[in-house]
Amino acid sequence: MTVSKMLRGKVALVTGAGRGVGAEIAKMMALRGAKVIVNDLGGTSEGEGKDQTPALKTVRAIRDAGGEAEANFSSVADFDAAQDMVDQAIESFGRIDIVINNAGILRDCIFHKMTQADWDLVIDVHLKGSFNTSRAAAPYFRQQEAGVFVHMTSTSGLIGNFGQANYMAAKLGIVGLSKSLALDMSRFGVRSNCISPFAWSRMIGTIPINDGLQKKRVEKLKQMTPDKVAAVAVALCGDGAVDVTGQIFAVRNNEIFLMGQHRPLRGLHDSMGWSPESVIERAFPAMMSNFYPLDRSQDIFSWDPV
């Protein structure tokens, strides 16, 4: 199959691109003509340590395939470092067109045992990191009246999961950030979307296996390779997606879903006004059939990936 050069002339910053989904996005972008800044701190899945090897490995793979890439080893959680990433793209390749906010860590813990560090580190990398890189690129996108943001959210935030209050809050916050960028910058031809990826990665590999059911679930996850997510991310960055902005997509093996966004489900009116007692007696019972249960991602996506 002939690979199009749909991103020829574009310059992309991909964070967390040393491994997994980020690496596949960076390589697929380069294969389609983009020049790429490959950012990866090289820390553990818990956000500890540094290692330049992952980013350099992705850069080498891109160059070996005939593409152009430069490595960046900074943390997205650092506002000034994020600005340096965008500046590096401009100094190396002359412009910046695309920001893929993929970097992330996990600090899973049941809520009543979660520490301040567990909370702060996850929020800093996922949510603040996405703000930092987006904010650094936004003035350039505005000036050139074009640009694309793609942010990684999660069904943990969109639906729910146990022991991930920090991660869920960050990932749902990213949805709000993306929608705000889409609204604020549409007048400048800039678009912003989210992807909720189902893919086997280093972070997903930290899922504890406590029973046969969980082991079976993990084996299914291993079938969902990062390149399936990368295909949608790259598509969102192409000129063919010029009318796609403010959306949330989930990618699950060969399935692509457009995810819902918050809208009213049901309303009640009382011309006399509501009291706490009447809310309990009338409003809650009337709405109860529309209440959401305490679902987790695996409850909603209950079928095998196809």
Domains of the chain: 11-261 (3.40.50.720)
Two structure tokens written together for 66: 């005939």
| Interatomic CA distance for residues 219 and 6, integer angstroms | 34
Helix (H, G, I), strand (E, B) or coil at 154: coil
Q: Using one digit for the tens of pLDDT, what is the confidence trace for 189-245? A: 999 999 999 987 655 555 556 676 666 766 777 778 999 999 999 999 999 999 999
**pTM here?**
0.93
- CA dist., res. 196 & res. 255, Å (int): 12
DSSP annotation of 281 reads I
Catalogue the active-site residues: 167
- Residue 188 contacts residue 243 (beta carbons within 8 Å): no
pLDDT of residue 272: 96
- At 132-190, the pLDDT tens digits run 999 999 999 999 999 999 999 999 999 999 999 999 999 999 999 999 999 999 999 99
Q: The tokens 């389609």 sit on which residue?
A: 32
